[in-house]
Amino acid sequence: MAIQIKVPTVGESISEVTIANWLKKDGDVVKLDEVIAELESDKATFELTAQSDGVLKILKQQGTTVPIGETICEIEPGAAQAPQPPKAPATASTPQPQKTESKVSGGIKEMKVPAVGESITEVTISTWLKKEGDFVKLDEVIAEVESDKATFELPAEATGILHIVAKEKETLPIGGLICKIEITGESPVTEPQEKKETAVSASSGGSDKSYAAGHPSPAAAKILSEKGIPANQVQGNGVGGRITKEDAVKAQPSTTKPAETKAQPSQAAPVISSGGSRNIRKEKMTSLRKTIAKRLVSVKNETAMLTTFNEVDMKPIMDMRSKYKDQFKEKYGVGLGFMSFFTKAVCAALKDFPAVNASVEGDEIVYHDYCDISIAVSTPRGLVVPVIRNAELLSFNQIEGEVVRLATKGRDGKLSIEEMTGGTFSITNGGVFGSMLSTPILNPPQSAILGMHNIVERPVVKNGEIVVRPIMYLALSYDHRIVDGRESVSFLVRVKEMLEDPGRLILGV
């Protein structure tokens, strides 16, 4: 009896996932716990493993959006791949035309926009893979449809002649009419096989490509978008020529320079002799980018966000790191970075100013007696914010180890939903990209976020003398609904004092 593999529960707020990539093909022999597919939600990408040994039967195709708990494939235990039937020998005689006549039943099947998610109210027709009047078969993919969370394929609900109602790029509500299928029994009269093969050979060079040729999978589309590479510049090696995640990872931007043009006599406007381009490119936002955009706009509209600034002399920390970094690395196996100092300083200050560690829940303020620190990590898919749990109880080496572990998983797309939810305060380091000063935006439902910036040697006054010190600007954005100006400024001053005297962090004073 075949074992059904269903979409597992991957997070409290996630109701559906998209099949980003099938790593095995239909009919392949798979082993227990072998990774067979990659699934992605609007928050993370995760792997799907085989639940037994056997032969894989794929029920949901790549790019399809599937609700939690629905069956996406089956595994037939102990079965072997079916042998391919021998091909019939070719004959010298001219093949006869296929005389199969269409059998029209007279019925019309109306295809409407299906329900694709609890919070989705409309979709857009992204691409028609079949044309008006084409013959289509039951369950054959005829179009690609997009929502604000994912792209999924639309299969034909009957066999017959396609009549398109909704045009490409048209937006329809759930239940809206997409197309009609004039139901027939079999395909219409076809041309002789020899002529058909000749036409295919002349038009496509004999290539065995389907509608998927040149179309990236959702995971591949996100990677290409981040790299700024158009899909038409990438060779697809997936089924039917589809661009897979691996193709996108290996793809490199084109280095071909525009051809030079001959110089023209100056009559009116100057003529550009070489280089330059006035081309434009439009790309759909990825699901993750759409989610980030909605959350950022929501924060600006629903919170009273303000930012306060200060500066910190980093010389004491830099001197301590220079003195002990080799011994620290040798003993604990991780480097001694700035993040552990900032995390410990923030945890100490949060104990003194609990409102900065709180959040708003309806008409109530929720205070936390622990410090779950969210660390912003930039990845090819976008910004993710994994959480260091109970950071106030961790040592310097434990914090550094957690930062390395979470950052590595984030860049590899392996973070789980649990690892990215539940933080009480955030730290973001724009300094690694060269930022001098910025106003970080809140990570809801948290009430504050600390922004670190680059370290620059600046002239400052110490004991009445002008000296050069490595200075970092700090920015604290906070929700003024529950954090007053006095608390925010005092919190940032406390962080500054502890960083400029790191011995206080070690002694806990």
Give yes or no: residues 439 and 500 share one domain.
yes
- Which CATH number belongs to the domain containing residue 137 in this structure? 2.40.50.100
The predicted-structure confidence for 252-303, as pLDDT tens digits, reads as follows 876 655 444 444 555 566 766 666 677 888 887 776 677 778 888 888 888 8
Residue 90 lies in a domain: no
Domain count, the chain: 4
Confidence (pLDDT) at 255: 61
Closest CA to 261 of 273, 249, 271, 252: 273
Task: State whether 364 and 475 are in the same domain.
Answer: yes
Task: Write the pLDDT tens digit of every residue in 79-104.
Answer: 544 444 444 444 444 444 444 444 44
- Does residue 53 sit in the same domain as residue 162? no
Do 379 and 420 contact (CB within 8 A), yes or no? no
- State the SS3 of 495-509: HHHHHHCCHHHHHCC
Q: What is the 3-state secondary structure (H, E, C) of 250-300?
A: HCCCCCCCCCCCCCCCCCCCCCCCCCCCCCCCCCCCCHHHHHHHHHHHHHH
Q: What is the mean pLDDT of the chain?
A: 81
Q: At 437, give phi and psi (nearest 5°).
A: -160, 140
Do 226 and 180 fall within a single domain?
Answer: no
Task: Name the nearest CA neighbour of 160 among 190, 134, 144, 183.
Answer: 183
Among the candidates 187, 209, 236, a domain finishes at 187
Is 276 inside any structural domain?
A: no
Residue 484 a catalytic site member = yes
The last residue of one of the domains, among 167, 187, 207, is: 187
Which parts of 362-404 are beta strand (E)? 364-366, 373-375, 377-379, 382-384, 387-388
Residue 421 domain-assigned?
yes
Q: Are residues 225 and 353 in the same domain?
A: no
For residue 168, which phi and psi values (nearest 5 degrees)?
-60, 145
User: What amino acid is encoded at 217 in this protein?
Assistant: S
Residue 467 lies in a domain: yes
- CATH number for the domain harbouring residue 488: 3.30.559.10
Q: Is residue 203 part of a domain?
A: no
412 tagged catalytic: no
pTM of the model: 0.50
Same domain, 114 and 13: no
Low-confidence ranges of the chain (pLDDT < 70): 11-13, 43, 78-106, 117-119, 148-150, 185-212, 218, 239-240, 254-269, 271-276, 287-288, 509
Q: Are residues 452 and 318 in the same domain?
A: yes
Catalytic residue among 352, 369, 480, 501: 480
CA distance 81 to 20: 25
Which tokens sit at 271? 């003529």
Domain range spanning residue 39? 3-76
Picking from 37, 59, 76, the residue at the C-terminal end of a domain is: 76
Identify the pLDDT of residue 393. Answer: 93
Residue recorded with tokens 């993370």: 44
Quick one: which of 276, 327, 144, 268 has its CA closest to 218? 144
Q: Which of 26, 319, 484, 501 is catalytic?
A: 484
